[in-house]
Amino acid sequence: MVNRERIVNEFVELISIDSLSLQERNMADVLKQRLSELGFDVYEDDAGVKAGGNCGNIIGEKKGNKNVPAILLMAHMDTVTPGTGKKAVIQDDIIKSDGTTILGGDDVAGIVSILEAIRVIEEEKEEHGHIQVAFTIGEEIGLIGAKNLDYGKIHAKYCFVMDSGGEIGVVATSAPSQNKIDIVVKGKAAHAGLEPEKGINAIAIAAHAISQMNLGRIDDETTANIGIINGGNATNIICDRVELKAEARSRCDSKLKKQTEHMKQCFLEAADKFGGEIEFIDELMYPSFKINEDEEIISILKKATEKCGINLVLEATGGGSDTNIVNSKGIKAVDVSVGMDKVHSVEEQISINDLVKSACFLVEIIKAVQ
């Protein structure tokens, strides 16, 4: 059975390791050692070289003794900022940060659930198929590790990405595509006090475009947001350049295309109205995925939750994760909750009971593969 004290101690130890995006070397070295101790053949790919990081993804494989499909267990090593000098504070059942940094449960909770589940499988001498593990880099800055993972080393049929929040038993089976959008609005500079008529205000163009735009929740599958605006140099100069960063997401690719075109059209019309110009560049950051309820990976989850006595909740999410990329490679993947709460904030916390339940759930997932 899951060792409560062991998983808590390992969680506290690992969150104390600084592991910002593309600076995961120290975490990677520890995890390579842990996997080796658990009998895995361990390999580090060249994702870090490609992305400009100080280490690659860590890939491990442990041969099975049961003739069932191989599975891939996945979590990411990097954290968001402020993530330097993290310290865990334990109060009753809750582990939280000291309030000056994030906790780092996103995604150390996923890492320790994987390590603990494998230990339990070995200690209880459970038969299992081949188990592959991938600990990725740069997830928080664009799924960089998953995009550059050496898939030539991966032969798993199913993947369980341990990187979601909510109650244990919540599993994301659908997630959107995301378009990253960069816009440059070009106007014409002029003295704002002496001859404003000779200028074309790029801020006014951007403001008009945004005022005509559908943003926020578009429908139950689609969202859009203008997140960053930069422009202007002085109050006495008509602004001649504004740069904006935006995004659009949808679980329906045709809706994503329609929303992106709508945003572009709003900028084009505003530029035409005021006499300016725009540059509009959209880039697909990751594709959508959807796992149907009648697929075998869902049957595995159902069997596991029945054994654990927890409720299986299949949900569609509005976020992206390594799961999107893995599915695009032809491997059936779902994103499994590890109980993380208030992530990406200095109020981040996790329940010890959820840590234990997450590892228990993963043990039963491994056992349920047929």
By CB atoms closer than 10 A (0-12, 13-18, 19+), residue 136 is buried
Rounded distance, CA 219 to CA 80, Å? 29
Cβ–Cβ < 8 Å for 322, 76:
yes
Catalytic residue at 253? Answer: no
Find the farthest-apart pair of alpha carbons in the chain and give their distance in angstroms, rounded: 83
Rounded distance, CA 158 to CA 331, Å? 6
State the residue for tokens 């150390």: 108
Rounded distance, CA 274 to CA 66, Å? 69
Cβ–Cβ < 8 Å for 354, 339:
yes
Catalytic residue at 78? Answer: yes
3-state secondary structure of 113: helix
3-class SS string, 61-108: EECCCCCCCCEEEEEECCECCCCCCCCEEEECCEEEECCCCCCCHHHH
Among 10, 139, 140, 240, the active-site one is 139
Among 78, 140, 240, 282, the active-site one is 78
Q: Which of 277, 281, 289 is nearest to 334 (CA)?
A: 289
Active site residues: 78, 139
